[in-house]
Structures are given as structure tokens and as C-alpha cells.
Chain A
Amino acid sequence: AQSVAQPEDQVNVAEGNPLTVKCTYSVSGNPYLFWYVQYPNRGLQFLLKYITGDNLVKGSYGFEAEFNKSQTSFHLKKPSALVSDSALYFCAVRDPTNAGNMLTFGGGTRLMVKP
């Protein structure tokens, strides 16, 4: 079975400061990992994904994520936060050894960026 944990319900950061949103995962094989963002009353918007290769993945809007196999983590980062980054962030995992391509999501982390 595959699972994802987002240990922080909320992350608060000041505008201009770096941000980190944490994610750990559990899968039987090598994982495919994803980050999505959700704004109020909206669907999920794709940010970035890790499939293979370089452990540092760059995505939309200046976000990046670092895959760490030994720590089974895939933390989302941004060097300088914007107020407009305030939203709900979801980490998701897919086990490529499964026949389908079901995504398993974490519970979400609310990011609050204050001016």
C-alpha cells in the first residue's frame, strides 16, 4: 500500500523568506511524486513532479522540491515566498509497480504568507 504524510497542517512564513512544506511517503517500489496546489473553491493545480534523475526538481511559480530516498521525503521549497503563494498544498505519490496510476494524497498543508 502507498501512503503520504504531511506532518504540518499549517506553515506560516513572512513574505520574502524561504518556505518549506514537508512530505514523506511510503511505497513498495520507486515512487513517482507530485505536488499540487489548491486555491479556495478551485481544483488542484499541478506544480511539479519527480519521476527519476536529478533529486532537485524545479516546477511552476519558482517552486522546487527535493527527493530524498533515504529519508523517503519530497519537501516543497521556494527561496522567497509571496503573499499570493498562500494556498493549500498537497503532496501525492504513485507506485509505478501498480497496474493503474492512482494517486494517493496527503492531508494537505495550508501555507500562509504574511506581508
Chain B
Amino acid sequence: ETGVTQSPTHLIKTRGQQVTLRCSSQSGHNTVSWYQQALGQGPQFIFQYYREEENGRGNFPPRFSGLQFPNYSSELNVNALELDDSALYLCASSQGLTVREETQYFGPGTRLLVL
């Protein structure tokens, strides 16, 4: 098991609502990346935070936003939920961008169902 934790484990929302997912990074890691994994697909990069600043974003609309806190934990916020947002949301932590060979370690994920 990695030291990356995510909450909640499961969540059910209705279309149009807003959701906040949380991630605690592994000790010693200052970079958090978020991925969306739709059913039967590989994870897709949403965005990354390094030392509380967004550092890279994938092909996701602005209603997907995030935060990183001074303790390097992170939140993913999704506004105006759509049915297609139903997926497993994965958080990954790593040591930082200065270590280019570094490995991303994933948490167990939050499964979001939008009805």
C-alpha cells in the first residue's frame, strides 16, 4: 500500500450538483496529480499541483478545478456535474518536478456516480 489516501471512497451525486474529492499525499511528496478513469478505460490526466500551484492541465473543462494546501494535500472540485463525469478519480503523489525520474504513487481512488 502507498501512503496516499483519498476520501470519500464512494459518492453518488445528481446531475448539476457540485462535488469535492480529497487526497492526502505520501510523506515527503510535494506534487499531486489527479486522473479520471472511466469504466473500461485507462486513466486520463486532469491536472497537477506542485507546491500549491497548478502545473499542467489535461483536456478537461474549467468546471474541473483544484487546490493544493501547504501540507501538500489536495482537493478536486467538479461543478455542474454531468452523467459522463461518472468515473473513478485517482490521486497520485510524487516527490517533485525537480526529480524527473520520479514515480507517481496512486491512492485507492474515489468512485463517483452521477445520476
Chain A interface (Cβ within 8 Å of chain B)? 4, 32, 34, 36, 41-46, 49, 51, 90, 96, 98-108
Contacts and interface: CB of A to CB of B under 8 A. Distances in A.
A43 B108 contact: yes
Interface string B30-48: 0101010000111111001
A101 to B, nearest CB: 6
B109 interface: yes
Interface string B1-29: 01010100000000000000000000000
Contact of B56 (A32, A90, A99): A99
Nearest to A44: B106
Given A43-B108, A102-B56, A51 B101 contact: yes
Contacts of B108: 42-43
A74 to B, nearest CB: 15
The size class of the interface chain B forms with chain A is 20 to 34
A108 B106 contact: no
Nearest to A99: B56
Contacts of A42: 108-109
Given A90-B42, A99-B56, A49 B90 contact: no
17 contacts: A4-B42, A41-B111, A43-B2, A43-B4, A43-B90, A43-B108, A43-B109, A44-B90, A44-B106, A45-B106, A46-B103, A49-B103, A101-B100, A102-B33, A105-B35, A105-B42, A108-B41
Given A105-B42, A106-B42, A100 B106 contact: no
Nearest to B6: A43
Which of B2, B104, B109 has the most chain A CB atoms inside 10 A of its CB? B104
Contacts of B58: 102
B25 to A, nearest CB: 13
Contacts of B107: 43
Interface in B50-86: 55-56, 58
Given A44-B90, A46-B103, A101 B109 contact: no
A92 B55 CA distance: 19
4 tightest CB-CB pairs across the interface, nearest first? A100-B56, A105-B42, A44-B106, A43-B106
